[in-house]
Structure 1
Amino acid sequence: MQKRSVFFAIALLAGLLNPLVAQAQSTAQYPDIRAFGTSPQWLTTKVYIEGAPDIDVKDKYPGVVGISMWDPERNRYEFFYTDTGLSKYDQGGGGYFMVTGDRKTHILVPDKGPHRSIVRRLEVLNNQEFTYSREVPRDMVQTNENVRIYVVHAPYTGPIKTTPTH
C-alpha cells in the first residue's frame, strides 16, 4: 500500500512539473512575431544561396533588397527602395502578412502586383535580426533552376525615413 502512495505522489509531481518544463522550453525556441515591431525599419544586409553563406549575392536578387516596415499590430508590411526611400507598394511591395501558428512560415499577401501570396520560411526573428528563406529561380531568371536564398535583415538606422502609404 505504501509503494502505491509513493508511486502516485511521484507520478503526480512529475505530471505537475512536466507541463511547466515543456512550456518554458517551447517559447524560447521559436521566433516572436512582436520582434518585427522592435525596429521601425529593417534593412536587407545580405542575401546568400543555401550552402554558400559567405557569398553575398544581393546584386543578383535586387527584388528582395530594400528597407521594410512591419506593423505587427495590424499585420501590415511595406517595402521601400534603399536609395530613394520610395515605396514599392504599387509593384506588390505592400499588404498583409502572417506568421503561422508553429512560427516557421511567414506569408505575405500583397494588396497589388503579380503575386497573390509569397510563402517564406522564417529562419531568425528577434530584435537584432530577421532572416527568411524561400525558393526562387537562380539569379531571378525564370528559366533557371530553383535555389533557396536566405535574406538577412537588421534594424535600419540610416538617414532615409520611410512612411507607410497604406
Structure 2
Amino acid sequence: MQKNLMTGLLLAVLFSSPASADVRELASSPRWLTTRVYIDGAPETDVKAKYPDVVGISTWDPERNRYEFFYADTGESKYSKGGGGYFFVTGDQKQHVLVPDIGPTKTIVRQLETMNSVEFTYSREVPRDMMENNSLVRIHVVHAPYTGTIETKSAINNKARSR
C-alpha cells in the first residue's frame, strides 16, 4: 500500500505543471551550503557539529525535481548514502518532501521556513544529537548560496552518463 502511495505521489509530481515560482528560488543558486543548524527555540546556538548528516552542499533541479547532497569539505556526493533523488514542495508551499533513490529512508518530510534567492531554511524532527534512542527535537537547517571553491562531483550525473 505504501509503495503504491509513493508511486502515485511521484507520478503526480513528475506529470504536474512546472515548479512554482517559489520552488524556482532553489534554482537561483546552483549550489547551497548549510550555514547554521539550531534547535527550535535556540536560534542563537549553532549546533552543526552535532548534526553532521544534515550539513553540506546541496544541488536542486526544480525542472527535473532532482536533488543531490555533498560533503562540504571534499565535494564528494552523499548519493550512495541516500543523498540524492526526487523532491517536491507541497501545493501550499509548507512542506518539502525528499524521496531518495537509494538507502534505508523512503521519504523525508521537512517544514519549509524560508525559501528565497538568499536563504533556504527548513525544519524537521530528529533524535537529539542524531542518536537513535534520544528524544526528538526540531532542528532548523539554514542554507545560503554556495560561493566557495570546492567542486561537487555528481554521482547522479555520472550514473546517467555510464548507462
Pairwise same-fold verdict (TM > 0.5): yes
**2:135 paired with 1:145:** yes
For 2:53 and 2:77, the matched residues in 1 are separated by: 13
AA of the residue aligned to 2:67: Y
Name the counterpart of 1:136: 126
**2:132 paired with 1:107:** no
For 1:124 and 1:140, the matched residues in 2 are separated by: 23
**2:22 paired with 1:32:** yes
For 1:36 and 1:164, the matched residues in 2 are separated by: 17
AA of the residue aligned to 1:137: P
1:45 to 35, 41, 44: 35
**Helix, strand or coil at the partner of 1:90:** helix
After the TM superposition, which residues 81-92 of structure 1 pair with which residues of structure 2 at under 5 Å, given as runs? 81-92=71-82
Name the counterpart of 1:155: 145
For 2:94 and 2:21, the matched residues in 1 are separated by: 8
Corresponding residue pairs, total: 137
Once the two structures are TM-superposed, the CA of residue 163 in structure 1 deviates from its matched residue by 3.5
Q: What TM-score results when the alignment is normalised by the length of structure 1? A: 0.81
Over residues 20-57 of structure 1, what are the superposed CA-to-partner deviations in whole Å (9 max), with x where a residue is unaligned?
A: xxxxxxxxxx9800001000000000000000000000
Over residues 86-137 of structure 1, what are the superposed CA-to-partner deviations in whole Å (9 max), with x where a residue is unaligned?
A: 0000000000000000000000000011100000000000000000000000
Once the two structures are TM-superposed, the CA of residue 164 in structure 1 deviates from its matched residue by 2.6
For 2:89 and 2:154, the matched residues in 1 are separated by: 21
**Helix, strand or coil at the partner of 2:113:** strand
Contact 1:31 1:126 in 2 (8 A): no
Moved over 2 A (4+): none
Q: What TM-score results when the alignment is normalised by the length of structure 2? A: 0.82
Contact 1:31 1:125 in 2 (8 A): no
Contact 1:46 1:58 in 2 (8 A): yes
**2:70 paired with 1:80:** yes
Contact 1:31 1:124 in 2 (8 A): no
Structure 1: runs of 5 or more not aligned: 1-29
Name the counterpart of 2:12: none
Give the structure with higher Rg (CA). 1
Name the counterpart of 1:94: 84
Sequence identity percentage: 68
